[in-house]
Amino acid sequence: MDTHKFGKEGWTPDSIGNLNGKTFVITGTTSGTGFEAAKILLSKGAKVVMLNRNSKKAEHTVKTLKQELGSHIDVLAIKMDLAEQASVKKAAEEVLKTVPQIDALICNAAIAQVPKQTLTVDGWESQMGTNYYGNFKLQALLFPLIEKSKGRIVTVGSLGYNMGIKTIKFDDMNWDKDYTPNNAYSQSKLAQIMCVYELQDQLKKAGKTHVKVYACHPGASRTSLIKTSGSLITRFVWQLMKLSPFVQSAEKGAYPQLMCATEPNLDQKGFYGPTGRNNWTGPVGEHTLAPHAKDKAVAKRLWELSEKETGAKWNF
Ligand SMILES: NC(=O)c1ccc[n+]([C@@H]2O[C@H](COP(=O)([O-])OP(=O)(O)OC[C@H]3O[C@@H](n4cnc5c(N)ncnc54)[C@H](OP(=O)(O)O)[C@@H]3O)[C@@H](O)[C@H]2O)c1
């Protein structure tokens, strides 16, 4: 994609037209980029279904959005804990009962830099279980409606995909040996990104190219990510970094996912995020993805494992 197509500023929400009649399902809107993305979509007239683990926070978010945008906005909150497959299933069922179409599912929610190895109720390392297996299940369950709507699936990844061991540790998926917060987070984000390009291939094979799937990331953005799940020291360092010009606002961090959810004719092969220094900040557009994220053999193996682990059926 030509980043300059959108001028010096890169892609901004000014490119989004009227979204009346469109429905977006987005995970993790109680703070950070998810909150900002939901707000912008609502401000353009869309219906937004928010999937959050904390109902009280979600209620507060709805209230804030109504205060800021007006009580006419079409927003709905459904409870979903991505870290629990049963909760993901329940939430997906509720979404399918509640809305007749999904123009885009934005998989935004995540946890990061969990200090000690922790397992989800389903027995997976917490970042892999939440960020990866949670989304894998959610996408598979909502896929029939996304397909019917000729919709999109947007995965919010991270530059962290390139900061760990750069492959999937199939022989020790839970990091029983050598757990480090960064390696485990990196693996979960790499898995999320790999799954995007693998899903594109699977859809092509099944002749279902009317569903589009995108990978993006928010660069470095001022959000609650590290505050929520990181160690004291990581939180402290990140708090300092957030004060620097190397980190951008949460609103700007929401632009890549909004671009992937709404921009017509966006090339699925791209990886979208800030194109400035280190890809942390700057104009939003397409930039390089390291080759290990598109390793076909690893992606195929991961896909098969994920279907087995989650029991998710895609119905291609
Ligand atoms: N900020 C950055 O610089 C940065 C860099 C690279 C990638 N990212 C990615 O950007 C995305 C958004 O994160 P953010 O930076 O905006 O962080 P954030 O402010 O912490 O927002 C994360 C959202 O995810 C929700 N969430 C966490 N665990 C969940 C679960 N088990 N079930 C349902 N929702 C859950 C949080 O809910 P609660 O309010 O309940 O905690 C919150 O709404 C993530 O995918 C992250 O990996 C961020």
Is the pLDDT assigned to residue 229 strictly greater than 80?
A: no
CA 174 – ligand 1 centroid, Å:
21
Q: How confident is the model at residue 226 (pLDDT cuts 50, 70, 90)?
A: confident
DSSP 8-state assignment for residue 10? B
Residue 207 Cα to ligand 1 midpoint, Å, equals 33
Cβ burial 135-150 (10 Å sphere, 16+ → b, else e): bbbbbbbbbebbbebe
Full set of structural domains in the chain with CATH = 3-310 (3.40.50.720)
CA distance 142 to 51: 13
> Does residue 33's CB lie within 6 angstroms of at least one atom of ligand 1?
yes
Q: Which atom of ligand 1 is nearest to the CA of 227?
A: 20
What confidence score (pLDDT) does residue 313 get?
A: 85
Give the distance (Å) from ligand 1 centre to CA of residue 110.
Answer: 4
Q: Is 274 in the pocket of ligand 1 (CB under 6 A)?
A: no
Of the ranges 45-54, 99-108, 273-282, which one carries the lowest mean pLDDT score? 273-282
pLDDT tens-digit readout, 147-202: 999 999 999 999 999 999 999 999 999 999 999 999 999 999 999 999 999 999 99
Residue 10 in contact with ligand 1 by CB distance below 6 A: no
* Residue 105: band (very low, low, confident or very high) from pLDDT cuts 50, 70, 90: very high
Is the pTM above the cut of 0.95? yes
CB 212, CB 250: distance < 8 Å: no
Instruction: Lowest mean pLDDT of 60-74, 95-109, 182-196, 217-231, name the range.
Output: 217-231
Mutate which of 87, 223, 252 for ligand 1 pocket (most atoms within 8 A of beta carbon): 223
To the nearest whole number, what is the mean pLDDT of the chain? 95
Q: What is the pLDDT of residues 107-119, one digit of tens each?
A: 999 999 999 999 9
Q: Measured from the CB, is residue 34 less than 6 Å from ligand 1?
A: yes
Looking at residue 27, its pLDDT comes to 98
